């Protein structure tokens, strides 16, 4: 449900080129666009921009911003909302005609950066130090900051306020640690409703690992630590909640994702990102809820996950200078606030933190996690390995956490070895 902040992994660039070359004549790229091999970069444009839109509001907002930039700079910009962003980006590269600027998620970023397909321009942007550190880490490869993060989300604890009151709970009972989370989940569990639901993949579970002082990959992506005692204990905690029946995954609640289960009141609480707001307004407008920061782990460690996209620019673009100017405009604090008001995203610049919080006080809990947010799991060449990890996590209720993590340690370390 995070179409603007996609956390899905794309296939590796090399594999995509082999698989999709035959499909390139179908229009995945931009004919005559930006893939000359010149190293300079012209300011003449026109620029083709490919986005993965969450809907009409986002598409209109990006088109309006592009029009404003064109009026100011004299550089024409064409904005296209992709039907399948990852596939169309891959097709564009395979055809030698990638978009001049495009949305790029963290997993796909690792794959494209590894192959040298991306222009590392982020340090040329205005005030690169203004971007949140976790976002800069998400879009860095081999120590180089590549592309500007466009917006982001963290995870928060959403609570159905009617269920909370009916269970006799007060604001003082909002959980701040694991023991309290377990206790309120039990109180909120009834015959027809579970206390808590979360996504059954790494993006719904890894926050518990970090809250327990664990980790998965080193910042330089050269070491895996999946099988640590802290990680095993974290998954055992989640498994206990599942075994006790106070936590259920969406599939067990006849829901496609945890936000749906929460909206249908099949669960009284969920751990989710700020994309919940749009879903609740459109699908469950009568449900009253409030979002709080995630509870800390047993030792008091606070952690949440971050989900983000960047503005990618191809390394071989013939319009790099113009593309950087466009991204600088789109990533300015003023424009990011306009995007936030248009379609609910959280700006990637720290300088507009107070401005955003004042405009969206109900979502302040999401930004509260900025200081301790961990990047979403991503590794060059690791698409299938991450999918395997997700599949195993979905079976956590009947799995042995130690065996699960031991297997994934071997799998991820093998990918790391291949990258060296």
Q: Give the model confidence (pLDDT) of 209-254 as tens digits.
A: 999 999 999 999 999 999 999 999 999 999 999 999 999 999 999 9
Per-residue pLDDT at 55: 85
Is 156-305+379-419 in the same CATH topology as 13-153+306-375?
yes
Please state, for a pLDDT cut of 70, what percent of the chain lies above it.
90
CA distances from 211 to 86, 301, 303 (A): 31, 5, 5
- Of 154, 200, 2, 204, the closest CA to residue 85 belongs to 2
Please state, for a pLDDT cut of 90, what percent of the chain lies above it.
85
Residues 111, 114, 116, 118, CA torsion sign = positive
- H or E element: which one contains 283? helix 276-283
Residue 405 confidence (pLDDT) above 50: yes
pLDDT band at 91 (very low <50, low <70, confident <90, very high): very high
CATH superfamily of this structure's domain 13-153+306-375: Periplasmic binding protein-like II (3.40.190.10)
- Of 108, 93, 87, the closest CA to residue 35 belongs to 93
Per-residue pLDDT at 114: 95
Per-residue pLDDT at 9: 31
Residue 383 confidence (pLDDT) above 90: yes
Residue 120 confidence (pLDDT) above 90: yes
- Of 75, 98, 107, the closest CA to residue 10 belongs to 107
Query: Residues with Cβ < 8 Å from 220, sequence gap 6 or more?
Result: 142, 143
pLDDT band at 44 (very low <50, low <70, confident <90, very high): low
d(CA 187, CA 190): 8
Per-residue pLDDT at 282: 87
Long-range contacts at 128-133 (CB < 8 A, ≥ 24 apart): 130/333, 130/349, 130/350, 130/351, 131/348, 131/349, 131/350, 132/306, 132/348, 132/349, 132/350, 132/370, 132/373
Q: What is the per-residue pLDDT across 121-136, written as a single tens digit (0 to 9) for each?
A: 999 999 999 999 999 9
Q: What is the mean pLDDT of the chain?
A: 90
Per-residue pLDDT at 41: 41
Is the CATH number 3.40.640.10 carried by domain 156-305+379-419? no
Residue 7 confidence (pLDDT) above 70: no
Query: Residues with Cβ < 8 Å from 297, sequence gap 6 or more?
Result: 177, 178, 208, 210, 211, 212, 213, 234, 303
Residue 364 confidence (pLDDT) above 90: yes
Annotated domain spans of the chain: 13-153+306-375, 156-305+379-419
- Of 284, 359, 278, the closest CA to residue 267 belongs to 284
Written as one string, the DSSP assignment of 184-201 is HHHHH-BTTBEEEE--SS
pTM to 2 decimals?
0.87
pLDDT band at 43 (very low <50, low <70, confident <90, very high): low
SS3 state of residue 234: helix
Q: What is the per-residue pLDDT across 295-340, written as a single tens digit (0 to 9) for each?
A: 999 999 999 999 999 999 999 999 999 999 999 999 999 999 999 9
- Of 252, 279, 5, the closest CA to residue 158 belongs to 279
């Amino acid at each position: 449900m995070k179409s603007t902040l996609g956390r899905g992994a794309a296939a590796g660039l090399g594999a995509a080129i082999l698989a999709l070359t035959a499909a390139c004549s179908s229009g995945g790229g931009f004919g005559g666009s930006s893939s000359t091999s010149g190293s300079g970069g012209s300011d003449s444009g026109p620029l083709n921009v490919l986005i993965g839109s969450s809907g009409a509001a986002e598409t209109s907002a990006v088109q309006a911003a592009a029009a404003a930039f064109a009026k100011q700079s004299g550089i024409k910009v064409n904005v296209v909302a992709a039907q399948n962003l990852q596939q169309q980006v891959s097709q564009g590269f395979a055809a030698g005609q990638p978009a001049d600027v495009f949305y790029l998620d963290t997993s796909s970023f690792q794959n494209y950066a590894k192959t040298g397909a991306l222009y590392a321009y982020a340090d040329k942007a205005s005030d690169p130090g203004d971007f949140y550190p976790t976002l800069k880490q998400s879009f860095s490869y081999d120590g180089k900051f590549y592309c500007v993060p466009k917006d982001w989300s963290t995870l928060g604890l959403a609570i159905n306020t009617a269920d909370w009151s009916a269970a006799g709970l007060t604001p003082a009972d909002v959980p701040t640690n694991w023991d309290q989370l377990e206790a309120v989940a039990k109180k909120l569990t009834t015959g027809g409703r579970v206390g808590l639901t979360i996504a059954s993949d790494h993006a719904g579970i890894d926050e518990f690992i970090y809250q327990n002082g664990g980790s998965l990959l080193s910042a330089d992506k050269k070491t895996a630590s999946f099988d640590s005692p802290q990680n095993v204990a974290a998954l055992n905690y989640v498994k206990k909640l599942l075994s006790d029946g106070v936590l259920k995954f969406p599939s067990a609640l006849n829901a496609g994702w945890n936000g749906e289960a929460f909206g249908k009141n099949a669960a009284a609480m969920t751990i989710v990102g700020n994309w919940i707001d749009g879903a609740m307004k459109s699908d469950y407008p009568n449900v009253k809820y409030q979002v709080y920061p995630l509870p800390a782990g047993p030792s008091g460690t606070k952690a949440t996950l971050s989900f983000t996209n960047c503005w990618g620019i191809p390394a071989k673009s013939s319009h790099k200078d113009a593309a950087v100017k466009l991204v600088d405009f789109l990533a300015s604090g003023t424009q990011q606030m306009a995007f936030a008001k248009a379609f609910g995203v959280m700006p990637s610049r720290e300088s507009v933190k107070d401005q955003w919080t004042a405009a969206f006080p109900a979502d302040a809990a999401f930004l509260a996690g900025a200081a301790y947010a961990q990047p979403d799991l991503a590794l060059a060449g690791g698409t299938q390995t991450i999918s395997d990890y997700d599949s195993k996590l979905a079976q956590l209720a009947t799995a042995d956490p130690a065996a699960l993590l031991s297997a994934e340690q071997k799998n991820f370390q093998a990918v790391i070895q291949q990258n060296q």
